[in-house]
Amino acid sequence: MTIKDIAKEANVSAGTVDRVIHDRPGVSNRTKAKIQKILDKHNFERNVLASTLAYKRKYTIALLIPYFCSDRDFWYEPNKGAGLAINEIKSYGVVTHRFYFKMQDLESFEKAQAQILALNPDGVVFAAFFYSSSLEFIGALKHRKIPFVLINIDIESQGNLTFIGQDSFQGGKMAGKLLSLNLTKNAQVAILRSRNVNNHNAIDARIKGFMSFFSGSKHLGFSFTEIYFDEFSKEKTAKVLLGELEQNKSIQGIFVPSSMAFHVAEFLEEHNLEEIRLVGFDAHVNNLKYLKTGTIDFLIDQDPMEQGYMGVKLMFEFLLFKKRPRKIYNSAINIVTKENSEFFRSPKAVEGIEV
Amino acid sequence: MTIKDIAKEANVSAGTVDRVIHDRPGVSNRTKAKIQKILDKHNFERNVLASTLAYKRKYTIALLIPYFCSDRDFWYEPNKGAGLAINEIKSYGVVTHRFYFKMQDLESFEKAQAQILALNPDGVVFAAFFYSSSLEFIGALKHRKIPFVLINIDIESQGNLTFIGQDSFQGGKMAGKLLSLNLTKNAQVAILRSRNVNNHNAIDARIKGFMSFFSGSKHLGFSFTEIYFDEFSKEKTAKVLLGELEQNKSIQGIFVPSSMAFHVAEFLEEHNLEEIRLVGFDAHVNNLKYLKTGTIDFLIDQDPMEQGYMGVKLMFEFLLFKKRPRKIYNSAINIVTKENSEFFRSPKAVEGIEV
DNA sequence: CTGAAAGCGCTTACAG
DNA sequence: CTGAAAGCGCTTACAG
């Protein structure tokens, strides 16, 4: 059933049918009703391919995420997912420009923002690092009426099309449960956190969720201590941990509410402290290494590839097909252990295919 | 960059460029080389939309999966995933016919097979229940050179395009680990299995994987006993379990290597035996109910929606774009607990969108 | 308010 | 071996 068929049945031209389908002005009510009736009768759905081709409109999407050095880094994955989506939608006349900034470098973030505003894209997908700078960027986007999608890091702002990321509180609660499985009663647990971090909110929420798991009566015996770092790096981690663990020999479990558990694991292995139980976030290659040796017991993964993929894909569907996404897409809370470290994400249909 | 642009640059017609792109005969080597050079220079990629539209070819895919009664059943999910894919690909001129059979009714399976062969589709996606009947079906498909994709249940046959499903051995091993987390040393564990089941292979592999986890030196104290059912149903489960658990009061953990853990959970709750630890497969609604009450400790999920989605999508990509999938797509081994029961799968970009 | 015609980019008989 | 033309289904100026 094509527009032509409908037109013939209604004794009008294809152009008129098209006007009715898209509710464009310039059709008499009488004709409109007649055509609509036939459309409904046949349950007409227009051919999206032909439609897209005829529209001729080109769309530009900008993606802004942290720079990554190798495929072992967290942000490699969202970038990969975005790449899959970009590839899928390019036939539809969508060109996606990718911008990267350095995670510790506000200037690089703002430079990328300026470039994006200069590009004046039809939509923006980004990770809201640097709280106040992100808010300004959002202000500029809203002013220009450019729709935007947030991935990975939420920010209490209005007007984003959707947010795609993990529920941090639930993730933290999950971490609490997992750590508890390997601890005996009355264990002492250390929570490790860095002072120099951009997404305080997510870290705080994870810790709140973590503590909430132990608030039930079952785990009254546990005690907790927070250990602060200036930043996560091999040397600094070692220095602080040496002091703390020396001072407090009864620490049996460590919770790292960020993706930096591998630094801790490296330290534990070097000091033969593998019996300390360790739970962290994000199953990137750096962390997986220590999951496999058993020094990290559990990782909680959020399928970052999917975040990149969906960010771009949902923006595309909004721009071309006016499909408005839900306000929030909760990423997976995947539990990763030695046993499923090869199988903790669904294999994506779009990858791994040779032409 | 379009075919027209290339044609102009090469001083030939668009038709000739098209012939070169598709390596169709009837172009002199000289012209071919000239055009190819220009194509390479511009890194030409043809517009898939326009191409699909012009081809005019229609494709038919047949899907064959078990019938399901409600959205609480396992097979509801693959069907839903398939529906998403069907919707995505219909613009490309692909019509997918869905056939359902009753899991305990060989006749219904063979009737559907006959209908599919009568339809003579371009590709078939199916779950290989009923071993020998499936082999016959595969023989018929091969004879007609109809490509086919297996989902959920693998079968040692040759010639399938790909298999999409969980690695049963690894899944079982994961179950072993999870059950062990909640058991004390020297625990006695029961493995429950039904005699009346179609995919013996997967169940056997899960049990092998399960046992392999305990074969390490760490768990020498555990002992295991297999309990057989004629089939899983509320009454039969209760009857057998009553006898077994009565006779052997020291059973502390139960492993159900199928999706039927909810029957066991129901029994345990009715007899106030919730302290027995329980691990099963597949996070469909029936099972999730008892995960939430805590009677089931862990479920291992395989993202069945993705299996349906990918089965159809990969067949589509093969038929239209000649993309040959990998021989196997390992489904996820998702660990589901009370804490992540809302978040154990990636939200699919394609669903939940209002037009 | 409505229709005829041209065009999106690619493919395919057909003619030469 | 090669080109001109028609067509896939939809959209859009343009003319009336």
Q: Residue A178: give its domain's CATH number.
A: 3.40.50.2300
Looking at the fold, whether B25 and B71 belong to one and the same domain comes out as: no
* Cα–Cα distance for residue pair B284/B262, rounded to 1 Å: 10
B237 within domain boundaries = yes
Task: Note the strand D nucleotides within 7 A of protein beta carbons.
Answer: 1-5, 7-13
In the 8-state DSSP scheme, what is residue A325?
P
Looking at the fold, whether B196 and B277 belong to one and the same domain comes out as: yes
How many CA atoms lie less than 13 Å away from A268 in the CB half-sphere?
Answer: 23
Looking at the fold, whether A189 and A288 belong to one and the same domain comes out as: yes
Looking at the fold, whether A290 and A311 belong to one and the same domain comes out as: no
pLDDT at B351 over 70: no
Looking at the fold, whether A285 and A192 belong to one and the same domain comes out as: yes
Cross-strand partners of B121? none
Looking at the fold, whether B308 and B297 belong to one and the same domain comes out as: no
Task: Work out the end-to-end distance of chain A between its first and last CA atoms, rounded to an integer number of angstroms.
Answer: 32
Looking at the fold, whether A158 and A227 belong to one and the same domain comes out as: no
Looking at the fold, whether A160 and A177 belong to one and the same domain comes out as: no
Name the helix (H) or strand (E) containing B330: strand B328-330
A154 within domain boundaries = yes
A51-71 as b/e, with b when 16 or more CB fall inside 10 Å? bbbeeeeebbbbbbbbebeee
Dump pLDDT digits (tens) for B266-302: 999 998 988 899 999 999 999 999 999 999 999 999 9
**Mean pLDDT throughout B124-130?**
95
B342 within domain boundaries = no
Asked whether the beta carbons of residue A343 and residue B325 sit closer than 8 angstroms, the reply is no
Query: Which of B255, B284, B301 corresponds to the end of one domain?
Result: B301
Domain count, chain A: 3
Residue in chain B nearest A183 by alpha carbon: B181
pLDDT in tens, chain A (355 residues): 899 999 999 999 999 999 999 999 889 999 999 999 999 999 999 999 999 999 888 999 999 999 999 988 899 999 999 999 998 898 899 999 999 999 889 999 999 999 999 999 999 999 999 999 999 999 999 999 999 999 999 988 789 999 999 999 999 999 999 999 888 878 899 999 887 777 778 899 999 999 999 987 666 688 899 988 877 777 777 778 888 877 777 889 999 999 999 999 999 999 898 889 999 999 999 999 999 999 999 999 999 999 999 999 999 999 998 889 999 999 999 999 999 999 998 887 555 443 3
Phi and psi at A89, nearest 5°, equal -100, -5
Dump pLDDT digits (tens) for B34-68: 999 999 999 999 999 999 999 888 999 999 999 99
SS3 B142: helix
Say how far B25 CA is from C7 C1', in Å.
29
* Cα–Cα distance for residue pair A109/A112, rounded to 1 Å: 5
A341 within domain boundaries = no
Which residues from B are below 8 Å from A342, CB to CB? Answer: 170, 330
A39 within domain boundaries = yes
A38 within domain boundaries = yes
Here the CATH number for the domain that contains residue A40 is 1.10.260.40
* Cα–Cα distance for residue pair A342/B170, rounded to 1 Å: 10
What token pair was written down for A44? 């007409």
What token pair was written down for B166? 């969980």
Is strand C less than 7 A from the beta carbon of B47? yes
* Cα–Cα distance for residue pair B82/B192, rounded to 1 Å: 31
Looking at the fold, whether A174 and A292 belong to one and the same domain comes out as: yes
* Residue A30, C-beta contacts closer than 8 angstroms, at least 6 positions apart: none
* Residue B53, C-beta contacts closer than 8 angstroms, at least 6 positions apart: A47, A49, A50, A53
Q: Which residue has the tokens 């449960």?
A: A177
B185 within domain boundaries = yes
Asked whether the beta carbons of residue A344 and residue B323 sit closer than 8 angstroms, the reply is no
Looking at the fold, whether A256 and A276 belong to one and the same domain comes out as: yes
- Measuring from the CA of residue A53 to each C1', which nucleotide is nearest? C8
Place B220 in a pLDDT band, splitting at 50, 70 and 90.
low
Range of the domain at A41: 3-46
B254 within domain boundaries = yes
**What does the pLDDT read at residue A213?**
92
Looking at the fold, whether B135 and B250 belong to one and the same domain comes out as: no
Looking at the fold, whether A182 and A255 belong to one and the same domain comes out as: yes
Q: Which residue has the higher pLDDT, B245 or B128?
A: B128
Binding residues for strand D (Cβ < 7 Å): A 2-4, 14-15, 18-19, 21-22, 46-47, 50-51, 53-56; B 11-16, 19, 25-32, 50, 53-54, 56
* Residue A20, C-beta contacts closer than 8 angstroms, at least 6 positions apart: A27, A31, A32, A35, A36, A39
**What does the pLDDT read at residue B63?**
98
Say how far A30 CA is from C11 C1', in Å.
40
Q: Report CA A61 to chain centroid distance, whole Å.
A: 17
Asked whether the beta carbons of residue B352 and residue A325 sit closer than 8 angstroms, the reply is yes
Which of A339, A341, A348, A354 would best serve as a mutation to test chain B binding (most B beta carbons within 10 A)? A339
**Global pTM?**
0.91
